[in-house]
Amino acid sequence: MDSEHIETSQAARSEDVTSTIAVGAGPLRVADVVAVARDGRGVHLDPAAIEGIRSSTALIESLASDPVPHYGISTGFGALATTHIPLASRAQLQLGLIRSHAAGSGPHVEREVVRALMVLRLSTLATGRTGVQETTAKAYATMLSAGITPVVHEYGSLGCSGDLAPLAPCALALVGEGEVRDASGALMPAGEALRAFALTPITLREKEGLALINGTDGMLGMLCLALADLEALLRLADVAAAMSVEGLLGTDDVFAADLQALRPHPGQAASAANLRALLADSSMRASRRDGAVYTRVQDAYSLRCAPQVHGAARDTVTHARSVAERELASAVDNPVITSDGRVESNGNFHGAPIAYVLDFLAIVTADVASMSERRTDRFLDTARNHGLPPFLADDPGVDSGHMIAQYTQAAIVSELKRLAAPASVDSIPSSAMQEDHVSMGWHAGRKLRRAIDGLRRVLAVEILTAARGLELRAPLQPGPASRAAIAVLRAAGWAGPGPDRYLGADIELAVQALESGRLLAAVEEVSPLG
């Protein structure tokens, strides 16, 4: 690491705390987790949290010499919980725990996921329920703010006893071992990264090894990131559906508020309201009132039932957010220090509540994508696209238009259906049958991340296809919302309808327009969405 980078990073560490997120002042919000994980925000410990940490450390120190065994303080772990550990071996016990549990394998996990699980572990440390030293919690916060991200591997967590294998490398980095990436993404030994920031490796004391790894932070971090992604993607699904309804000369009458109120699901009402707003002031909408153009009594389900499907997805996300918020207000550790000073074993590390909603979200992600693919397919079939050319081709036969774009969607949707199979119904016993039922919540989170990427790509293809179809309707003009979406695609380099060209590049620019937030922001400037 060059000296200029070190000086810049050290200056960032000393920035005013008003620019960082306070941990321990109360439960973190989902937005706080995303800001630290995805946007690189720094953190600091709230002064009130430091007082609680000091109190819990004193309690653990008082129990360290107690002849009565206390789990995680003077005993082994898991199936070895009945083994008493002499005082002289306890530092070795904690360090050995971290080293042995840093047993992950496979590809490196994304930086944003590692930062999410780190800030969530710090949040639990800040509750004063874990017994860690003040220096340990502060070192964890400093490592986050410095942009030091331990290398975590894909495989290793069973989602019970917490995300042990993913959290262990983060604890290992605190003692100066293992591998990390700096803020620029460069891979280096943890000890070297700590020295670059003048950080002294910590020495683990009683209970600290467990406190640093016994949490559901990996799966909860992925849930927080997924909520942020899906809340944007479901608004984009409404945008895509509106563009398709418009381009396929469908009716918006079915989205009327009084019809939606007959089935009062809040998500459905919100999605229908979005569709009404997105379709406002469209000359194509006006043309549908002309019987010479619009003669259909009912549209296909993929058009007519969009609020029902998108709305149910929204309600599932709302439920998942409520679970996340409860978890963010939790102190997950084992054993845990209670409010009256007891140190008690418990089962709060079990990931079932998070695993279930991660699986629920994978199901709705697959279904929203499935409906999107059906709308795209309607644009390409002359029997159903109401006057548009086959496959939206410039010269059908010579050109294939968007034929294979729909194949790409279909391939992704098929994969999403596979990813919708729940991980949380599986369990493999471990630790000599002491841990005989596990949640597989980490796996649920990993597959949901892949599913969200797939949904974004499916919606990008629909929006790109709808944009082409809408432009082929000229001289009819779409409404302001669709025009705003098309303008973003044009600005990104989309050339519009014409002879066949490299279609993969067009799809990728549409994906980037969605992922960056540019397309949704442009639409919401003219048509605010709920």
Catalytic residue numbers? 71
In angstroms, rounded to a whole number, what is the distance separating the alpha carbons of residues 254 and 303? 10
**Cis peptide bond N-terminal to 307, omega within 30:** no
Give CA–CA dist 259/351, Å, rounded: 40
Q: Which residues of 86-116 are buried (b: 16+ CB within 10 A; e: fewer)?
A: eeeebeebbbebbbebbebeeebbbbbbbbb
Q: Give the integer Cα–Cα distance in Å for 397 and 401.
A: 9
Bridge partners of 179, per DSSP, are 189
Q: In sequence order, what DSSP letters do the residues of 225-291 get, joined into one string?
A: HHHHHHHHHHHHHHHHHHHHHHHTT--SGGG-HHHHHTS--HHHHHHHHHHHHHTTT-HHHHHTTST
Which segments within 57-146 are labelled E, that is strand?
105-108
- Residue with structure tokens 């016994």? 214
For β-strands 105-108 and 153-155, DSSP reports them as: antiparallel
Q: CA–CA distance from 68 to each of 65, 84, 92, 210, 407 (Å)?
A: 9, 10, 20, 19, 66
Q: Which residue has the tokens 């418009």?
A: 246
Structure tokens at 41: 């925000």
DSSP state of 391: G
Residue 214's closest CA among 101, 133, 114? Answer: 101
3-state SS string for 253-268: HHHCHHHHHCCCCHHH
In this structure, what are the phi and psi dihedrals at residue 304, rounded to the nearest 5 degrees? Answer: -70, -35
Q: How far apart are CA 324 and CA 317, in angstroms?
A: 10
- Distance separating alpha carbons of residues 221 and 322, to the nearest angstrom: 14
Containing 172, the helix (H) or strand (E) segment is: helix 164-174
CB 529 within 8 A of CB 235: yes
Q: How far apart are CA 508 and CA 461, in angstroms?
A: 9
